[in-house]
Amino acid sequence: MHSTYSLQPIGILHSPYREKFGIPRQPGLAPHALASVTLLPPYNQIDSVRGLDSFSHVWLIFAFHQTAGHGWRPTVRPPRLGGNARVGVFASRSTFRPNPLGLSVAELLGIDSEHGVVLRLRGVDLLDGTPILDIKPYIPFVDSQPQARGGFVDGPPATLAVEWSAAAAAAVQRHQAQHPELAALIEEVLAQDPRPAYQDNPAREYGVHLYNYNIRFRIDGQRAYVLDVIDTCPHVQGTPAG
C-alpha cells in the first residue's frame, strides 16, 4: 500500500538567476552566484539551525517549481550528450521527473538571525524563488566519494573563453558598488555556454538575466563575447541575493 506525502517549503531561495536560461546545469560551476535561503514560519527560529554553522556546505532539497506539472518521460536527452542521445530519467538530473525534486550542494557562508533566519550561500544552480523543502549538512566523509564513476558526465564540462566589449566592461564597472561579484558571475555563467545544444549561430544575440541586469552576448566557436550589461530597473535599487 502506497502512502502519500505532503511536502511544504521550509524556506525560499533567493538567487541572481531570474530565469532558467543561463543557470549552470549543476552547483559550484558559478561560485560567484551568491544566494540565500530565508526560512519560513514556523521553522524560522535560530534553534532550527543550531550547529549548522560548523559545516562548510549544505544539501538543499528543493522543488523544481517552474517546471513542476510539465510532466515527465522515461527517457531524456541530457545537454551533456549534445541533446541527441537518450538516457533514463533516473540516470539524469533532468528537471522533468515523476516528482519534481532537486538536490544541490552549496557552500554555506554564514547564518544571519537579525530578521528571521537567513542562510547565506554561494555556488547555487537554482532559480530565484525556488521553494526549499529541506536542508541537511554536507558530511564530507560520507558524501564525498572521490573514487566514484561519473557515467556520461565524468569530469567538468568544457568552458568558453569570455571577452568583453568596451561598452559592457564600462557598464559592469558602474554596477561594481552594488554587485562587486557581477563581472565574475557573468564570466562564470557565459563560460558554461548557456545555449541549447543544437544552436550554433555566431551572429545570434542572446540575453541572460542576472539580478536586474540583461547581459547581452554572442558566442563564436569557443569564445563568448559580452556585448552589453543593461540595467532593466535603473530607478530601483537591485534586489541583493543575500
Binding residues for ligand SAM, rule: CB under 6 A, are 20, 23-27, 64-67, 93, 95, 102-104, 125-127, 130
Rounded to a whole number of angstroms, the minimum distance from the CB of residue 129 to ligand SAM is 7
- Which residues are 163's β-sheet partners? 225
Q: Would you say 100 or 242 has its CB closer to ligand SAM?
A: 100
Pick the closest to residue 242 from 152, 168, 164, 178 (CA basis): 178
- With cell 560520507, the residue in question is 142
Q: Would you say 36 or 104 has its CB closer to ligand SAM?
A: 104
CA-CA distance, 156 to 80, in Å (whole number)? 10
226 within 8 A of 186, measured Cβ to Cβ = yes
Rounded to a whole number of angstroms, the minimum distance from the CB of residue 103 to ligand SAM is 5
Q: Would you say 48 or 67 has its CB closer to ligand SAM?
A: 67
Residue 116's identity, in one-letter code, is G
CA-CA distance, 208 to 214, in Å (whole number)? 6
Rounded to a whole number of angstroms, the minimum distance from the CB of residue 1 to ligand SAM is 29
CA-CA distance, 120 to 14, in Å (whole number)? 10
Rounded to a whole number of angstroms, the minimum distance from the CB of residue 205 to ligand SAM is 20
Sign of CA dihedral 159, 164, 168, 174: positive
Rounded to a whole number of angstroms, the minimum distance from the CB of residue 67 to ligand SAM is 4
Rounded to a whole number of angstroms, the minimum distance from the CB of residue 94 to ligand SAM is 6
C-alpha cell at 78: 541530457
Q: Would you say 153 or 167 has its CB closer to ligand SAM?
A: 153
Residue 186's identity, in one-letter code, is I
Q: Would you say 93 or 209 has its CB closer to ligand SAM?
A: 93
What letter does residue 191 receive in the DSSP assignment? Answer: H
Rounded to a whole number of angstroms, the minimum distance from the CB of residue 26 to ligand SAM is 5
Q: Would you say 196 or 202 has its CB closer to ligand SAM?
A: 196
Q: Would you say 12 or 167 has its CB closer to ligand SAM?
A: 12
CA-CA distance, 118 to 15, in Å (whole number)? 13
Pick the closest to residue 110 from 163, 54, 184 (CA basis): 54
CA-CA distance, 51 to 54, in Å (whole number)? 6
